[in-house]
Amino acid sequence: MNSPTPSLILKSDSEARTLQIGHAIGDAMTAGTLIGLNGTLGAGKTRLTQGIGERLGIEHGQIVSPTFTICVPHEGRIPFLHLDAYRIQSPEEVDELGLDEMLENGVSLIVEWVDLIKTLLPAIDLEIQIEAPAEDSRNLLFYGLTDNGQQMLNALKLKNLEQS
Ligand SMILES: Nc1ncnc2c1ncn2[C@@H]1O[C@H](COP(=O)(O)OP(=O)(O)OP(=O)(O)O)[C@@H](O)[C@H]1O
Ligand SMILES: [Mg+2]
């Protein structure tokens, strides 16, 4: 984790609530944004990505954990690439994706298990750590690491998500 103090912490007590938080992130997202997700198996990284994707115009069911490939491209309001670093075996696999160029061309990236490949990635705008203290309960810790990431967090804070 980059910063010891998250700029925002949101609690989720259901899958639906995590999707709702994802919607708010999707609404705040602009082209060429890199979002990194961390959290153990089953923490909710893919659920959150489904919520983000819904607001980018992607049907919920189309976003699944990439099983046989490490990434899946989606064409939404913003084109975005859903990447799962868990299955990456070598730095070359990341290099071959040409992520810098994609971001420059306005593709946004959402990377699950981002800590595993952090040193191989361009600057991460927004990092989200998902803690799972109990079966349905999740804490989402947000770190805005660039101006873009901080602007997204400001937009999220204005939605008063912590009160709903
Ligand atoms: N508050 C919650 N938010 C999100 N998911 C929840 C919540 N409570 C329970 N769940 C359950 O946790 C699981 C989250 O699965 P998901 O595939 O999103 O995790 P993941 O972090 O992507 O795992 P993986 O590391 O395997 O990719 C789902 O089965 C979901 O129903
Ligand atoms: Mg997943």
Q: Is there a domain that residue 75 lies in?
A: yes
For atom 26 of ligand 1, the residue with the nearest CA is 41
Amino acid at site 116: L
Q: Is there a domain that residue 3 lies in?
A: no
d(CA 60, CA 52): 9
Token reading at 117? 């490949």
For residue 144, give the 3-state DSSP assignment: strand
Provide DSSP, 82-112.
EEEGGG--SHHHHHTT-HHHHHHTT-EEEEE
d(CA 14, CA 117): 29
For atom 6 of ligand 1, the residue with the nearest CA is 15
By residue range, what is the domain housing residue 106?
A: 9-159
CA of 98 to the centre of ligand 1 (A): 29
In this predicted structure, the answer to whether residue 163 has a pLDDT above a threshold of 70 is no
CA of 130 to the centre of ligand 1 (A): 10
At 85-95, the pLDDT tens digits run 998 999 999 99
Q: Is there a domain that residue 38 lies in?
A: yes
Amino acid at site 8: L
Q: Is there a domain that residue 109 lies in?
A: yes
d(CA 164, CA 160): 7
Q: Is there a domain that residue 4 lies in?
A: no
d(CA 75, CA 158): 28
pLDDT at 66: 65
CA of 104 to the centre of ligand 1 (A): 31
Q: Is there a domain that residue 61 lies in?
A: yes
Instruction: Name the residue with higher pLDDT: 50 or 164.
Output: 50
Please give the tally of structural domains in the chain. 1
d(CA 52, CA 47): 9
Q: From edge to edge, which strands make up the β-sheet containing 8-12? A: 8-12, 138-144, 126-131, 34-38, 108-112, 79-84, 71-75
pLDDT at 68: 64
Q: Which residues line ligand 1 (CB under 6 A)?
A: 12-15, 17-18, 39, 41-47, 65, 112, 136, 138
d(CA 76, CA 19): 17
- The radius of gyration of the chain from alpha carbons, rounded to an integer in Å, stands at 14
Q: Check which CATH number belongs to the domain holding 113 and give it.
A: 3.40.50.300
Q: Is there a domain that residue 164 lies in?
A: no
Pocket residue to mutate for ligand 1, from 9, 14, 47, most atoms within 8 A of Cβ: 47
> How are beta strands 108-112 and 138-144 bridged, if at all?
unpaired
Model confidence at 71, in pLDDT bands (50, 70, 90)?
confident
CA of 3 to the centre of ligand 1 (A): 24
CA of 114 to the centre of ligand 2 (A): 11
At 95-141, the pLDDT tens digits run 999 999 999 999 999 999 999 999 999 999 999 999 999 999 999 99
Q: Is there a domain that residue 34 lies in?
A: yes
Across the chain, what does the average pLDDT equal?
Answer: 92
pLDDT at 3: 53
